[in-house]
């Protein structure tokens, strides 16, 4: 698959996630144009405000996860990554437990972390806890572990194949594109993604990569 085709998959994924909140904003504006009741207008304004915030949160998250955020800097502030992830998860039934002690990570490291968080959070179909851990290991390597636990965890084989780098290009879809991106970034950073454990109510993904990559 060409880089252009893969970029198109990521764009499709981004658009899919934005359709709902942007559509809600559009519907709200249409309702306002013909609504005279003050209480109803207030409710519509509330809908527009929440949908606008949700759209902004998603765009900021995908800017870090898919895009080239940070300008010419080689590193990104992990607090910015945490903030964008918390905002992205706001309103969902997923609670974030963030345990990243370092102040900065390479751009690739942040991209890898956020895409793994996205993939793992989506396995929590009924909500739960998303735990993010960071550790420095031997040989100047870094380990990031993402753990999800909840009432039910669904982990598709297409996502597994994409994370492990064994997916056929023809089988890649917008849904599995973030997993494939995580696998690609890990390899570029001299590391790999590992599925450490998978049960009906929990899953753990880990990525190791060079600290200075």
pLDDT class of 71 with cuts at 50, 70, 90: low
CATH of the domain at 44: 3.30.565.10
H or E stretch at 184: helix 177-188
pLDDT value at position 73?
Answer: 66
Alpha-carbon dihedral angle through residues 108, 58, 103, 149, given to the nearest 10 degrees: -90
Give the range of the structural domain holding residue 91, as residue numbers without chain letter: 3-210
pLDDT tens, 101-118?
Answer: 999 999 999 999 999 999
Look at the chain and report how many structural domains it folds into. 1
Residues of the chain with pLDDT > 90, as a percent, come to 77
Q: 201-204, long-range: CB within 8 Å, 24+ apart, which pairs?
A: 201/128, 201/149, 201/150, 201/151, 201/152, 201/153, 202/147, 202/148, 202/149, 202/150, 202/153, 203/120, 203/123, 203/147, 203/148, 203/153, 203/155, 204/145, 204/146, 204/147, 204/148
125 touches 152 (CB < 8 A) = yes
CA distance 162 to 154: 15
pLDDT tens, 13-61?
Answer: 999 999 999 999 999 998 888 878 888 889 999 999 999 999 999 999 9
* Pairing status of strand 192-199 against strand 141-150: unpaired
pLDDT value at position 87?
Answer: 98
pTM, whole model, 2 decimals?
0.93
């Amino acid at each position: 698959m060409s880089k252009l085709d893969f970029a198109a998959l990521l764009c499709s994924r981004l658009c899919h996630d934005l359709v709902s909140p942007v559509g809600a904003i559009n519907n709200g504006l249409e309702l306002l144009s013909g609504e005279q009741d003050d209480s109803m207008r207030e409710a519509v304004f509330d809908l527009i405000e929440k949908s606008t915030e949700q759209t902004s949160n998603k765009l900021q998250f995908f800017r870090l996860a898919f895009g080239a955020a940070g300008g010419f800097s080689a590193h990104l502030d992990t607090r910015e990554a945490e903030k964008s992830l918390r905002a992205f998860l706001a309103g969902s039934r997923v609670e974030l437990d963030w345990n990243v002690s370092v102040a900065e990570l390479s751009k690739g490291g942040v991209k890898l972390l956020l895409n793994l968080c996205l993939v793992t959070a989506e396995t929590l179909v009924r909500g739960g806890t998303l735990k993010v851990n960071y550790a420095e290991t031997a040989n100047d390597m870094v380990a990031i572990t993402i753990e999800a636990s909840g009432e039910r965890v669904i982990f598709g084989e297409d996502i597994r194949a994409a994370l492990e780098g064994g997916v056929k290009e023809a089988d890649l879809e917008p849904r599995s594109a973030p997993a494939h991106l995580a696998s690609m970034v890990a390899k570029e950073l001299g590391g790999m993604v590992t599925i450490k454990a998978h049960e009906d109510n929990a899953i753990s993904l880990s990525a190791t990569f060079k600290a200075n990559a």
